[in-house]
Structure 1
């Protein structure tokens, strides 16, 4: 009886040894990856290229392990960089201007421009067959925090369209905005995808306008790191840039099924059709530039918006864009080491 069991035991031992070796190798492979502490401003399909780079393994292909958290605000994302709790943040590039003008020990630099339009959509409580900006006259709008990119884009649109007496609520935390509107607060709300489409599908709001299409080109969200981190880790910054660029490229050629599968893990509970609808909305307004470079023209537009919104004085304009922008990594995308 013992002899009959012996071959079986030997096989089991061999299998266990192989499994142990496989796990060991897996651990060694993981050890080879460089961890990057990453902070995103909010969770939105507006940043789809980044999530694709994670789900499709483009960061890992570059030797990076991205440890991601959501800061719920560019101010918090910038603070994480200064404090050292984040290596790279996805925030509004205006934060680099704010930090630069504080003349502190650290400065922030933009090294990759992810989006070239505002990513928010204006929704109404009542269905409007032909929305006009004058419809906002005397209405209450749930918007974003003061000084944030979407809040300033909306305010600039109100100024441009000469909308008066519109009350914009700016003291709600981002995660609470949709709930506040659904419970009856406000006549309009400014939201990103897929939250905007979710509210519409639930019958709690109606689509009115795209702020991105209405306002036009605007450098809303950038990858930013401290000057010190970039100087000490140029290879990591280049690899990070390469991975995100690969994610954007993949989005333009992948099938709907593959896109939904790639993004679904980051938006649990969001139906596939809303994910795809959100991606298509952002694609249709040229949200993700094929060349993710922050240009001088975009930088000038950004500073003009900051001045128009009263968060930057004319004399505080950054004269030399290179002081807070480094596009050398974008220019090296696709080049061999």
Structure 2
């Protein structure tokens, strides 16, 4: 196996990447779906008229159904109910999402929690803190160019896989799984931009591709790829994506952070109880051109692998798993391991979800 090691994220490099630009990740073109909800949608709650909405500048790592609870919270009005207006952009990378926080152009970012560890170890003027754990599995799926009856990890021997950039969570999870399965001589291609991966595969590059939903289901529907396996389900529990802010922002805006966490929790609860048609209706505005059946299949896959934890808390065991993966992939030196997770983690807001006055 060819492992693409990378040095820890440097603060200077992170800030330079900010200029790379933002924008929602495109999804494969298709006719929009306008299926009706099985029940009449509940009216969107509104904040008190005498309380203006507070704008939160928010940066998501990529556009994916992997982050469905957040989009639901926006579409169903749960952020507005908490008195917040979320101004969202798509960073196309955890490094860029972290850069946005450090530069002050974002208040909250949805990124890989490893970014908080990287920034802490740079000993700069600012540190990041993880305050909500949105996902508890890797969100990528492995698709093959040729159809096979049953996928085995040994099938990757001597093959090429279009994967994610070095040091990113999906790239490290895949590498760790290959190590666990003792699969060698795999060419994991890590130098293709996330927005160009699907196009590279459909144009003939790679034997396999590692992608998130709804891209995975869209490629399947178009007959351009075949489902092999869920990387997240195969690897097991892993804290892949978290809400993060600077320590200063959290200290100066605790009420805003609590309201933000409350809104996302409402989105996750709604998502767990809503029908497939209702979910598709809520998510369609964020995935224009993506067919309804692709959205439904994407949600079904993420639900089946327990992507969204009932309690969105990053625990000590999960933090240990995260740091082990970073060390195994050579992006964190053993001596840089953080012993006290409270240095970069604050789960007090999650623990206050649903409490009176919170």
Unmatched tracts of structure 2, length 5 or more: 1-45
* 1:44 matched residue in structure 2: 64
* 1:15 matched residue in structure 2: none
Question: Whole-Å Cα distance in 2 between the matches of residues 57 and 130 of structure 1?
Answer: 43
329, 340, 350: which one aligns with 1:309: 329
Matched, 1:163 2:183: yes
* 1:113 matched residue in structure 2: 133
Report SS of the residue matched to 1:252. helix
TM-score by length of 1: 0.91
- 1:134-173 map, 5 Å: 134-173=154-193
* 1:185 matched residue in structure 2: 205
Question: Whole-Å Cα distance in 2 between the matches of residues 189 and 254 of structure 1?
Answer: 31
TM-score by length of 2: 0.86
* 1:176 matched residue in structure 2: 196
Question: Whole-Å Cα distance in 2 between the matches of residues 160 and 268 of structure 1?
Answer: 38
Report SS of the residue matched to 2:273. coil
Report SS of the residue matched to 1:104. coil
Larger Rg: 1
* 1:265 matched residue in structure 2: 285
* 1:6 matched residue in structure 2: none
Q: Which has the higher helix share?
A: 1
* 1:21 matched residue in structure 2: none
* 2:351 matched residue in structure 1: 331
84, 95, 99: which one aligns with 2:115: 95
* 1:9 matched residue in structure 2: none
CA contact (8 A) 2:162 2:190 kept: yes
238, 241, 248: which one aligns with 2:258: 238
- 1:68-79 map, 5 Å: 68-79=88-99
Please identify runs of 4+ aligned residues in structure 1 that moved more than 2 A: 28-31
Question: Whole-Å Cα distance in 1 between the matches of residues 218 and 51 of structure 2?
Answer: 40
Q: 1:286 to 1:153 in 2, by over 3 A?
A: same
Unmatched tracts of structure 1, length 5 or more: 1-25
Deviation at 1:29, TM superposition (A): 4.8
- Per-residue CA shift, 1:287-313, capped at 9, x if unaligned? 000100000000000000000000001
* 1:276 matched residue in structure 2: 296
Count of residue pairs brought into register by the alignment: 312
- Per-residue CA shift, 1:80-135, capped at 9, x if unaligned? 00000000000000000000000000000000000000000000000011110000
Question: Whole-Å Cα distance in 2 between the matches of residues 134 and 114 of structure 1?
Answer: 32
* 2:39 matched residue in structure 1: none
Matched, 1:203 2:228: no
Question: Whole-Å Cα distance in 2 between the matches of residues 311 and 128 of structure 1?
Answer: 34
* 1:285 matched residue in structure 2: 305
Question: Whole-Å Cα distance in 1 between the matches of residues 295 and 254 of structure 2?
Answer: 34
